[in-house]
Amino acid sequence: MLRFALRRMALLVPTLFGLTVLLFFWVRILPGDPARSLLGQRATPEGIAKVNERYGFDQPIWKQYFLYVKALAGGDFGSSIKLHEPVLDAFVNKLPATIEISVAALLFAILLGIPLGYYAGRHIGGWLDTTIVSGSLLGVTIPVFFLALLLKYVFALQLHLLPTQGRQDARMTTDHPTGFYTLDGLLTGNFSAFTDACAHLVLPGLALGTIPLAIIVRITRASVAEVVHEDYVRTAEAKGLLRGTVNRRHIMRNALLPVVTTIGLQLGLLFAGATLTETVFAIDGVGQYLFNAIGVRDYPVLQGFILFIALMYSLINLLVDLSYGLIDPRVRVS
Amino acid sequence: MSGDYLSGRPDEGNTTVVGDTDHDGALLEVNDLSVHFTRHGNKPVHAVDEVTFSVGAGENVALVGESGSGKSVTSLAIMGLLPKRGVEVAGSVAFAGRELIGLDESQMRNLRGAEMAMIFQDPMSSLNPVVPVGKQITEVLRRHRRISKPDSVTESVDLLQRVGIPDPARRVTEYPHQLSGGMRQRVLIAIALACQPRLLIADEPTTALDVTIQAQILELLRELVSGTGTALIMITHDLGVVASLCDRVHVMYSGRIVESNLRHQLFARPRHPYTGGLMESIPRLDQARGLPLTPIPGSPTDTLAWSQGCAFAPRCPNAAGDCKTQTPRLEMSDDRALRCFHPLDTEAARIGAARG
C-alpha cells in the first residue's frame, strides 16, 4: 500500500513537469500581455518596455522558462504581477474558502444523491424513478451561474432566509486562525460565527452541488440496479437476513464502489471549477482569484494556481485509489 | 472440535422452530404449485405448473431435468425467493404443516437460513466479494440464534473445519477471491448448514466445479445430511449425482413433473421416454468401449405447450398422434407417478438396444 502510494507520488513529478511546459507556453499564447493590462489604455511604448524589462519578459522565451523552472526547483513560485504578493501565499489564503464550498457542495450531493440513487435503483421504471432520473438530467443541464442567480433571488431576496454573498456577515468581527470560517467559529468557541459561516455556505453549496448530485444519483442508481441481481444478494436473502442487513452489507457495500470513484473525481473538479459560483456569490476563493488573474494576464499567478490545482487533483485521485483498496479487497495492493 | 451442531444439540437448538413440530405429514408438501411470469406486455410464461411432491424428514429427494425445466424456479418458490413483481405463485407449499405461500415476509425471513436453507449453482458469484467469509457465516448464526460474537466466530471456524477447509482459523478472515471454487462451495455449504436447517435445497451445487471437486462436494453433502435429520432436495440435470445421493427422484420437463419414482426403481425401469433419454445420455463404465452415447434429439426449446399436448412429444421417440392433441395427466400409483400415453416398455427397449 505504502509502496503503491510512493510510486504514484513519484509518477506525479514527470506529470507536473510536463504541465509546467504546457502552462508556461500556453499562458503566453493568450492574446494580450501583462504590461499592457497593468498600464492600461494609455500605455506608452517606453512604459511597456520598462515593465517587460523588470519582469524579464524581454528575455528569450527559453531563457524565461529556464529561470522559471530554476525558481520552481528552489520552491519559489513567483509573485503576482498585479498584486505583488507571493503566488504560494495567495493560494494558501484563498484555498480554505474554496474547500469549504466544495465540501459543502459535495456533502449535499452525497447525502441526497446516494439515497435517491438507491431508491431509484430499487424501483427501476417506477414513477419516482422516472422523476428522479429526469430531475437529475435537469440538474446536469442547468447552467451553474443561472441556478446560482435563481437561488439567490428566491432564498435571499424573496424569502430573506439566507445571505446572498460573501463568507461572513459584515458586522461580525471574529478571529480566523485557520481560514476555514466554519472551523474558526468552532475553534474560537464563537457559535454564532459558526452558524453564520454555515448559512453563507448553503446557497453556494446548492448551486455548486447540483451537477455532482445528478451524477452521483445516476451512478448509484445504475450500480444498485445491477447489484440487486447479483447471486450473492440472493444468497444473503436465502440466509434470512433482515432487509436492512441485506441492503447495507450486501447491496450498498458493493454498489458504492463505483460511486466512491465518482465522488473523488467530482471533488477534484469542484476545486478547479468553483469559479462561477465564487463569482456569483462573491466568495473570495481560488476560482475568483484565478479569474481575476486571467483578466490581467498575471502569468505567475496563472502558472502557479493551475499547477497547484493539478497537484491537488492528482493527490485526491491518489487518495481515491487508496480508499478503493480499503473498501474493495479485490484491488488491495499487497 | 467438539462442534456437534450438525446433529442437533438440544440445549442450543433453533429458537425459531415453527409449525407443528410433531405433525403427521411430511416435512415439506408441495401441492399443485405453479409459477407464472407475467412481464408487462408479454405473454405470461408458465415456468412451473401442477408440481406436486413431498419430502419427508431426513429424506433425500432429487428434482431432475434439463435447463429450463422449472426445477430451479420450483426451489426458489419454496424458499420464497422469487421476485414479487411480475411473478404469480399459486398452489400450496406446506413446511412442517405451515403454509408458506402467502406467508408474510418477516416470518419467511425467520424461516430462511434457520429452518430451510439453500446452496446455489455458482460458488464463484454467490459469496459477497467485499465481506470476509467468516463474517458471511457468523451473520447467519447471529441472525437466527442467540449467540455472542466471539462464540459465533468460534463456531464459524468449526463449521469451516467440518466442511473440510484446511486452516479454518486463517480462512475466516479471508475474502472469497482468495478461495478456490471448490472451497467457496464448501463455505456456502457451511453457511447453509450453520443453523441445522430441517430442509436443504441444493441447486446444481456441482455444475460450476471441475469433475474431481464435484465428487468431493457430493461426498461432503452426503456426509453432512445423512443421519442428521436434514432433508435434502437435490436439483440437478445429472442422473449420476442422483444415483449417489437420493432416495426419490422427480423428473421434470418443461415445468411439469413427468415421472416420479424411488431411485432404484427409476434406474431399473425408466418409464417416461424422457427419463429413458436422460439415462441413455450418461456415460457408463459397464458398457462396451467406443459406443457413442445416445443423446435426446432436439433441444429443450422444441416444446409443445402443455395445453396442446405433451411438451416432450416433438423430441419423443414414442410419440404418437394423441401426444400432440391431448395433454397427458400425471397418473399416480403407489410410490410412482407417470405423465405419458406411451411409456417405455423397458425390457423390450433394452433388448432392442442390445441388438442394435
Report ipTM for this prediction.
0.85
Q: For residue A63, is pLDDT > 70?
A: yes
B217-274 tens-digit pLDDT: 888 888 888 878 899 999 988 888 888 788 899 999 999 999 999 998 898 889 999 9
Nearest to B143 among A241, A257, A328 (CB): A241
pLDDT band at B18 (very low <50, low <70, confident <90, very high): very low
> Do B271 and B340 meet the contact criterion of CB atoms below 8 Å apart?
yes
The C-alpha cell of A97 is what?
474558502
Which residues of chain B make contact with A323, given a CB cutoff of 8 A?
A: none
Q: Average the pLDDT over B322-331 and give the result.
A: 89
Residue of B nearest to A257 (CA): B130
Within 182-241 of A, beta carbons closer than 8 Å to B belong to: 230-232, 234-241
Among all chains, which residue has been given the C-alpha cell 482468495?
A: B178
Interchain CB contact of B123 with A (< 8 Å): no
Rounded Cα distance between B297 and B134, Å, is 46
HEC profile of chain A: CHHHHHHHHHHHHHHHHHHHHHHHHHHHHCCCCHHHHHHCCCCCHHHHHHHHHHHCCCCCHHHHHHHHHHHHHCCCCCECCCCCCEHHHHHHHHHHHHHHHHHHHHHHHHHHHHHHHHHHHHCCCCHHHHHHHHHHHHHHHCCHHHHHHHHHHHHHHHCCCCCCCCCCCCCCCCCCCCCCHHHHHHHCCCHHHHHHHHHHHHHHHHHHHHHHHHHHHHHHHHHHHHHCCCHHHHHHHHCCCCHHHHHHHHHHHHHHHHHHHHHHHHHHHHHHHCHHHHHHCCCCCHHHHHHHHHHCCCHHHHHHHHHHHHHHHHHHHHHHHHHHHHHCHHHCCC
Q: For residue B290, is pLDDT > 80?
A: no
Question: What is the structure's pLDDT at B22?
Answer: 53
A149-194 tens-digit pLDDT: 898 889 888 888 888 788 877 777 777 778 788 878 788 878 788 8
Interchain CB contact of A254 with B (< 8 Å): yes
Question: What is the structure's pLDDT at B13?
Answer: 40
Is the pTM higher than 0.80? The answer reads yes
Residue of B nearest to A255 (CA): B130
Interchain CB contact of A249 with B (< 8 Å): yes
Q: Which residue has the higher pLDDT, B82 or A54?
A: B82
Which residues of chain A make contact with B122, given a CB cutoff of 8 A?
A: 231
Nearest to B79 among A238, A253, A329 (CB): A238
Interchain CB contact of B30 with A (< 8 Å): no
Q: For residue A252, is pLDDT > 90?
A: yes
Q: For residue B3, is pLDDT > 60?
A: no
Task: Work out the mean pLDDT of chain A and round it to a whole number.
Answer: 86
- Rounded to the nearest 10°, the torsion over CA B317, B321, B325, B327 is -50
Q: For residue B76, is pLDDT > 80?
A: yes
In chain A, the percentage of residues whose pLDDT exceeds 90 is 24
Which residues of chain A make contact with B198, given a CB cutoff of 8 A?
A: none
Name the residue type at position B230: T
Q: How far is A325 from chain B (nearest CA, A)?
A: 11
Q: CB B128 to CB A330 under 8 A?
A: no
Nearest-5° angle of CA A141, CA A144, CA A150?
Answer: 105
